[in-house]
Amino acid sequence: MKFSSNISQYDHAIVLGGSIGGIVTAAYLCKYFKRITIIESDDVLNDIFMKSTSSEILDYRCRLESPTSLGRSGVSQIYQIHGLHSEGYKILLELFPQLKDKLFNEYDIRTYSLKTECRLMNSGVLLNQDLTEDFDWLGIDRFTLEIVLRKELCLKFDKQIEWKYNTRVTDLIVDQSLNIVKGIKYRSKKNNNSLSFDMYGDFIIDCTGRNTSSPKWLKKNFNLIIPTVQVHFGCGYVTFIGERFRTDDPSLDSAAIIGAGVDSPNKNTGFITTPIRIIKTIDNNSLGILATFGIDCVNFEYPPNDSYENLLEWTKENLDSEYYTILTKNKSKKWPQNYILLGDAMCTFNPQYAQGMTHAFRQARELEKLFGESCHKLKDISHIFNRRASVITEECWLASTANDWKSPSLKVIETNKNGDVKVYQRSSDSTMTNHPQPRATLMMRFMQCFNMEIHNRITENFDTTICLRQINRK
């Protein structure tokens, strides 16, 4: 979007609320106002939101703790499953042209085709089957999206936008005789007895969400009653994050977005899963997608949220069997608190590649970093460490096993998370072994070719340090 200096500018706009609506409104209005003040009651510019890496944001999101502990209490649904329509995504790209690049490269997020990667059902009808035009679906969770957008807004309009956070708007400043709102009254959120201040603006936009005080303020200041209608239909959600695993049903596994809407009164329960991160994994059963899962209802037929077992039971009775299958596959045993494996205890490598000690040191350094971040509770550290340490391990594992897989007498013994053991054995004579042949993954084969290439080049006096640095960067 171009910002033309020809457009006559007003002086000051005040945006109440710095959430999704406030952020986008402020970005649009920068074209018309010299300065914009966003007043937000939560601590949204703290280091957790502004300095966290993509993986730290994910850690916060996965902990299922109340976002209040992060200083964000104003949007109770911030952890709930959210879908963003393609029109909404288009608007974001128009406002923040760098957004797509950032999300794809820094946050392992991608878009999905509504036509080919989506399976949205309603009353047994596949809604996306006859689309004449395809649409992009942005695979991101609401928590991450809001944080990234706020960072982008601050980056792009640093000079024009001023934030007042930890600050509550408490009333309007009006001139009744002119029937005009001239400003707002605000004070610190942290202290109810703190002084109240006035702020004047040429235009004021209330983006304070569903619990807006505007009806109260307008009644008090203008005796204006806003007519309202409330519809109570017993809507409820249970949302959580998990990895998608194969279900043996290709039509489910090929769809990144899967959903079945409620269709009251016949069906008062629904299901949706949407991807939020691409994950690198060597688990062949994994679809390489971290997703949000949402089970929703109307008519007060709430899914239980006390344990995963109870939720599964409920799903079995209340949803179609395929959604139950997806959730069963998603289930994984919870790693215990306050206990981790590090170094060779987590993964042992072929000693010929001499990476065992460095692997252990890198994991230990990651652990130190985690404790140093001093925002994690002790009980969460094992979970966060496992996720971060496994990235280090997978890197080393791939580097060392690629060549090991070429061994003519290779034997691979796999134990899955249910304790089932599978043995694969390579042999030139198939009658010599009762086990199936091991099959290298595409990534493994790529690494083998790559290693071969490096080997060939070394023998031609090629600069290996540059080449290895390039691999590390990948």
Catalog residues that contact ligand FAD under the rule CB under 6 A: 16-22, 39-42, 74-75, 77, 80, 82-83, 168-169, 207-210, 213, 237
CA end-to-end distance (rounded Å), the chain: 33
Minimum CB distance to ligand FAD smaller for 237 or for 405? 237
- Secondary structure (3-state) at 55: helix
316 with 295: CB under 8 angstroms?
A: no
Least CB distance from residue 282 to ligand FAD, whole Å?
32
Nearest to 152 by CA among 88, 105, 96, 213: 96
- For residues 387 and 171, give the distance between their C-alpha atoms in angstroms, rounded to a whole number: 46
Least CB distance from residue 73 to ligand FAD, whole Å?
7
Q: Is the peptide bond preceding residue 265 cis, with omega within 30 degrees of 0?
A: yes
Minimum CB distance to ligand FAD smaller for 319 or for 370? 319
* Type of residue found at 198: D
Least CB distance from residue 210 to ligand FAD, whole Å?
6
- For residues 156 and 89, give the distance between their C-alpha atoms in angstroms, rounded to a whole number: 18
Tell me the residue number closest to ligand FAD, measured at CB.
Answer: 74
Least CB distance from residue 40 to ligand FAD, whole Å?
5
Minimum CB distance to ligand FAD smaller for 12 or for 387? 12
Least CB distance from residue 209 to ligand FAD, whole Å?
2
Tokens representing 10 are 């007003």
- Secondary structure (3-state) at 222: helix
Residue 21, C-beta contacts closer than 8 angstroms, at least 6 positions apart = 207, 209
Secondary element (H or E) of residue 167: strand 167-175
Minimum CB distance to ligand FAD smaller for 20 or for 262? 20
- For residues 217 and 225, give the distance between their C-alpha atoms in angstroms, rounded to a whole number: 10
Minimum CB distance to ligand FAD smaller for 45 or for 289? 45
Minimum CB distance to ligand FAD smaller for 122 or for 213? 213
Least CB distance from residue 30 to ligand FAD, whole Å?
17
295 with 235: CB under 8 angstroms?
A: no
Least CB distance from residue 424 to ligand FAD, whole Å?
43
Minimum CB distance to ligand FAD smaller for 69 or for 77? 77
